[in-house]
Each structure stands twice: as C-alpha cells, then as structure tokens.
Chain A
Amino acid sequence: MLFLADNSLAESFMIRGIYKMPFKFLGGDVWITTTAVSSWIITIILLIFGIYVGSKFKNAKDIPSGFQNFIEMAIEALNGMADSILGENKYRFINYIGTIFLFILTSNLSGFMGMRAPTADYGVTFCLGLFTFAIVQFQGIKNNGIGHFTGLFKPIPVLFPINLIGEFANPISISLRLFANLLSGVIMLGLWYGMTPIFAQIAVPSFLHAYLDLFSGCIQTYVFCMLTMVYVNDKL
C-alpha cells in the first residue's frame, strides 16, 4: 500500500499547500502551494539576473570580455536556435522565446536548489501551452485572415473534426510533454530519497540528478521552445 494509502512518502514529493488563504474562490479553498512559492523564487532570481545584466550592459565595451562575453554568447546561441526555424522572422518572436526559455530552464533546474520544480505542476505547463496556442492562433488570423478558418476544411470538408482536434491538441501535447518529463523526475528522486537507507543518499543520487534534472530538463526546455517556434512558423 505504498502509493495507494494516505502516506507521508507520496506527500513528500507531491504538490503541497503551504498557506490557506482566508477567502474562497468559486466555492473552493485557495492555497499557496509549493509551486507558487518556487515560481516566485524563480521570478525573483530572474529579475535580479536581468537587473544585473542590464546594469553591466550600460557600459558595454566594443571588445567584450568576461561576463559580457558570456551573455553575448548566450544571445547568439538563442538567435541561432530561432534562426534555424523562423528565418528572417525571428526578431518578432525572440523576446517571447527567450523569456520562456529562461523561465522553463530555471524551473527545470530548480530541483538542484531543493525546490519542487514549478514545471512539474500541470497548472504551470498548461498555461505555457495556452500562451503558445494564443500566439499561434493570433498569428494565423493575422497572416491568413479568413483562410485560417477555411483551412480547417481542406483538403476535403470531411476532415474538419480531425483538423480541429489537431489544432487543439498542440497546446495539450507540448504541455503534457514538459509536465510528464519533470514529474517523472520528481517522483523518481522522491522515491529514491524516501525509500533508500541513509548511506545510499550521499553520492549516488547525483547520477539521477544529472540525468533527470539536468539532461532531461535542458532537453525539454529546448524542445518546448523549438516546438513553439515550429507551430508559429506554420502560421506565418
């Protein structure tokens, strides 16, 4: 009855409520969860990082060195990633792509800092998927006009339900992909820390962290951004 009964092991790595708000919303309780707290911490880290980089770049030099070099390298890598999909349209979307890239990457790596990764909560990843969906639909209507809707009836009108499902499956599939990868990592590490004796918790989990947090997290961040750009590029 390890997983099925009410037990402390499963609760130790699942989403927990930390503080119960003194009001009700739509008849349900409102909780401040671990997800909310971790995403606040990540937002603050990213804010401090942004302010620091901005202050460094106030007096940027023509010949970069040190920290400026590193940031320019990162921006060039991001530009190259966007360029491989979006081509000359990349500058219209690179701000959004860069923002979600930083947020998802920091969230996925927050397991190292002892937080529960916010992306291991379907509420967060589904919102990210909805952002992608909104951008894709907006670009489709803006660039194709009414053809965006009549395109659903091509090549033959019988395929309309399939096309409609295909349109709505995109945000669900990219959000579930990110969520399930991160959640499987959280569960495996939680089981390892909860079930092994103390001597197995010293150096051994570093391999699990390297695969489940670092490798999987970086790959999924990359994939989420690439797929967002692929979907947007279809509508341009």
Chain B
Amino acid sequence: MGISGQDFIYGCSAIGAGLALIAGIGPGVGQGIAAGYGASAVGRNPGARSDITSTMLLGQAVAETTGLYGLVVAIILMFVKPFG
C-alpha cells in the first residue's frame, strides 16, 4: 500500500506548519532584548518603573506580531487544510 495523494498533501502541510513556526525566533530575540533594556532602565531609574513596564509591554506586544503571523499560518495549515 502506498501513500495516497491526500496523505502526501497532509504530510507536507504538517511540515509547512512546522517551518512556519521558525518565525518564532525573531520575536523571541526581540522581546528578550526589550526586556533586558527594560530591566536596565528600571535599575537606573527605579522611580519610573510603571512607565517603563507599560512601554516595554506595549513594544513587546507589537514585536510579537510577526511571530503570531507565523502561528496563524501554521494553524491554518493544520486545521483549515486549505490544500486538502
């Protein structure tokens, strides 16, 4: 028994979903850098802690977007099955 065309497409979709999540590397690095600079800013000026934290969270959430696009592509490949 061989692999049918349908199974082959599903397998390739799963591989593509895995590859799409490589997009998670960039936001991880970016959020880490933002958190690091946020920590050093709090260390330099502890009085501005709440302002620094809210700015850092906003920036991190914006930086996260590209990773989430990758996640959406992966979820579409896995669950919506556009090529199946």
Contacts and interface: CB of A to CB of B under 8 A. Distances in A.
Contacts of A181: 68
A94 interface: no
Given A3-B78, A173-B65, A223 B58 contact: yes
Contacts of B69: 176, 180
B75 interface: yes
Contacts of B75: 180, 183, 187
Interface in A178-236: 179-181, 183-184, 187, 219-220, 222-223, 226-227
Contacts, number: 47
A36 interface: no
Most buried by A among B10, B61, B79, B81: B61
Interface residues of B, number: 20
Given A3-B79, A10-B79, A177 B61 contact: yes
A180 B57 contact: no
Contacts of B51: 84
B54 interface: yes
A183 B14 CA distance: 18
Interface residues of A, number: 21
B72 interface: yes
B14 A3 contact: yes
A180 B65 CA distance: 9
Contacts of B71: 180, 184
B57 A219 contact: yes
Interface of B: 10, 13-14, 51, 54, 57-58, 61-62, 64-65, 68-69, 71-72, 75, 78-79, 81, 84
8 contacts: A1-B10, A84-B51, A176-B72, A177-B61, A177-B64, A183-B75, A219-B57, A226-B54
